[in-house]
Structure 1
C-alpha cells in the first residue's frame, strides 16, 4: 500500500471568468469539469488538467467572489508546481509570460531541475518545473492549443510545497503515516531556518513529491484569493483508500471518513499545523458523466445534486467555457 503521487491541488479564486481565461487561454490547460463545490453548491468548482483530466494533472479552483487578498505565511500550501517536458519548454514559457504580462522570476535550477516561479493575477504562487531529468511518474498529454506547441504544453502537477511552523509534526504525518520517504535536502536560504526536505512516494519524480519547509520567522497565513485550500494524494482505487482509512484510524489520525465525490472517492486529514490533505482515488474519472470530447462544456452535477439543478444554476453567474 503506497500512495502514487500528487492527485490534485485545489485553490481559491474570487473571479471564475478571469480564472478560466488565465488557465485555459494563457496556460493552455483544459477545463475538464465545470461543477460546483459539493459541500457549498452555490460556488463554482473548476477543474483544469491535461486533455483527459488524468489524475496527477488537475489544478482546481473554488470560486469565492468575496474572498479577500491572501496574506502569505506559514501553515500553508505555499507553492504549486506545473510540469513541462523539457528545459527548452521553459524558454518558451518565459517569452509567453512576457507577452501576457505574467509576473515571473528567472529560470533557476532547484533540486537538479530547471524551473520558473510565477503568479497568476490573484497572486497564486506557481512554478513551472522541467521534466528533462525526470525518471519517475509519467506526465499526461497536453491539451491542444493554437498558440502552444504540444511539446511545450503543461503535462501535470509537480512538487507541492508545504510551509509550516512546526516541521516535526508534519514530518511525522508525511513519513510515519503517509509513508513518503525523504530523498533530498537543500538550504532554506533564510537565516536561522532549517534545511528544506524533499519527500517522494511511489515511482517518485516530479509528479510524486512533497516539499516540507519549516519557517519560524513568518506569521500564520491568512488565506484568500490566490491561496491553496488543499492538496490531494493518489490512492490507486477504492479498496486501497479503505485500507488507508483503516490505517489512519489505527494511528489515531483524525479524518473525515470515506466520502464519495462521484469523480473520485476521498478521505480528508487535517495535519497538526492545520493543512488539509486529501487522499483520492484515481477513478472513476471525469468522463463518468460527460463524453471525452465535451468535457467541461456544460455544468456537471453529481447525482445527489441533480434534483437541485435549477436552483443551483440560478445562483451561479453564467460562465462561457468554450475552449
Structure 2
C-alpha cells in the first residue's frame, strides 16, 4: 500500500501562451495533453512531461486569466524541482538559461545533490536537480523532438518542498503513505528548524519530499506562480479504493474516487492544509490521442465530449499544433 513516488504537480498560471512557450520552447518538455480543468471547464489544464507523459514526469497548469500573484507562506507547496541525468546537463542548462534570460542561480550543492534554482516567467520557484549521484525511482524519457538535446533533457519531477507551521502533522500524513525520514539539512532561514527529507519507495529524486518548518510566515495565498496540489503514484484502481478505506479509518476527509479519465484519483488535505492527491499510473495520455500528436488539439474526456462546442467557445485561443 505504499505510494510509488511523485505522480504530478499542478500549478497556476495567468498567461497560458507564455506558459506554453516557456515549458516547451525553453525547458523542452513535451505538451502531452491540452485539455480543460474538469471542475471548471472554462479554463485550460495543460500537462507537460516526458515523451509519453509517464507518471512521475508531469508538471501541469490550470489557466486562470487575471489571477493574482502567488503570495508565499506556510501551508504551501513552496518548491518544485525537475531532474536531469547528470552534472554535465546542469552545465548545459546554465548556458541555456543565460541565453534565454531566465532568472537562475549558479550550480550549488543542496540536500546532497547539485542544483540550479530558477524561476518561470510568473515567478514560480523551480529547481533543476542532477542525478549524477542519484539512485531510486527512475526518470522518464525526453521527447526526441524537443529543442533540448536528449542527453540534457528533463527526465521527470524531482523533490517537492512543503513549507508548514506544524511539521509533525505533515510528517504523520507522509508516514501514513509509506514515507520514511532520510536525513535533515540546515534551515535556509536563520532561527528556523532543520528541513526534514522524507523518501518513499526506491527514494531518489522522484521519491522525495522536503518538509520545511517555518514559524515566521503567514499562510500562503495561492495565485499565478503557485502550486495547487501534489499527486503521489499508486498502482491501480484496486489500490485506490483501498486507500479510501485507510483515509476514512484515519479520520481524514477525502474526495472519494474521482475518474480523471487519464488516471483515477483521490484527494485529501494533510493537517497543515496542503492538498494531496493519490493517482493511478494509468490508463495514460495516449488513451484518446495517437502518441505522435499528443497535445496538438483540445482533448476532452468522453464524459465532457458532448459539451465540446460550448467549452471551445469559452476558451482563449492557444495554438499547439506542431509543424
Report matched runs for 1:231-250 at 5 Å.
231-250=230-249
Report matched runs for 1:275-290 at 5 Å.
275-290=274-289
Matches of 1:7 and 1:64 in 2, distance apart? 23
Instruction: Measure how far apart 1:219 and its partner are.
Output: 1.6
Residue 159 of structure 2: SS of its match in structure 1? strand
TM-score relative to the length of structure 2: 0.98
Matches of 1:169 and 1:301 in 2, distance apart? 37
Matches of 2:78 and 2:144 in 1, distance apart? 29
Corresponding residue for residue 157 of structure 1: 157
Matches of 2:94 and 2:316 in 1, distance apart? 33
Matches of 1:218 and 1:106 in 2, distance apart? 27
Corresponding residue for residue 226 of structure 1: 225
Matches of 1:117 and 1:205 in 2, distance apart? 18
Instruction: Measure how far apart 1:145 and its partner are.
Output: 4.2
Report matched runs for 1:59-138 at 5 Å.
59-138=59-138
Runs (4 or more) in structure 1 with deviation over 2 Å come to 144-147
Report matched runs for 1:212-223 at 5 Å.
212-223=211-222
Residue 287 of structure 1: SS of its match in structure 2? coil
Report matched runs for 1:287-306 at 5 Å.
287-306=286-305
Matches of 1:304 and 1:190 in 2, distance apart? 48
Corresponding residue for residue 13 of structure 2: 13
Matches of 1:118 and 1:322 in 2, distance apart? 28
Matches of 1:192 and 1:17 in 2, distance apart? 41
Matches of 1:117 and 1:146 in 2, distance apart? 22
Corresponding residue for residue 49 of structure 2: 49
Corresponding residue for residue 311 of structure 2: 312
Matches of 2:192 and 2:302 in 1, distance apart? 48
Matches of 1:264 and 1:147 in 2, distance apart? 28
Matches of 2:263 and 2:184 in 1, distance apart? 33
Q: Which runs of 5+ in 1 are unaligned?
A: none
Residue 73 of structure 1: SS of its match in structure 2? coil
In structure 2, do the counterparts of structure 1 residues 141 and 92 end up closer, same or farther at CA, with 3 Å as the change threshold? same
Corresponding residue for residue 250 of structure 2: 251
Matches of 1:147 and 1:299 in 2, distance apart? 23
Matches of 1:283 and 1:145 in 2, distance apart? 24
Matches of 1:71 and 1:146 in 2, distance apart? 33
Matches of 1:251 and 1:18 in 2, distance apart? 42
Aligned positions, number: 322
Conservation of the 8 A alpha-carbon contact between 2:297 and 2:321: no
CA RMSD of aligned residues (A): 0.9
Matches of 2:146 and 2:33 in 1, distance apart? 21
Q: Does 2:260 correspond to 1:261? A: yes
Moved more, 42-51 or 268-277: 268-277
Corresponding residue for residue 209 of structure 2: 210
Matches of 1:18 and 1:26 in 2, distance apart? 11
Matches of 1:171 and 1:203 in 2, distance apart? 18
Residue 69 of structure 1: SS of its match in structure 2? coil
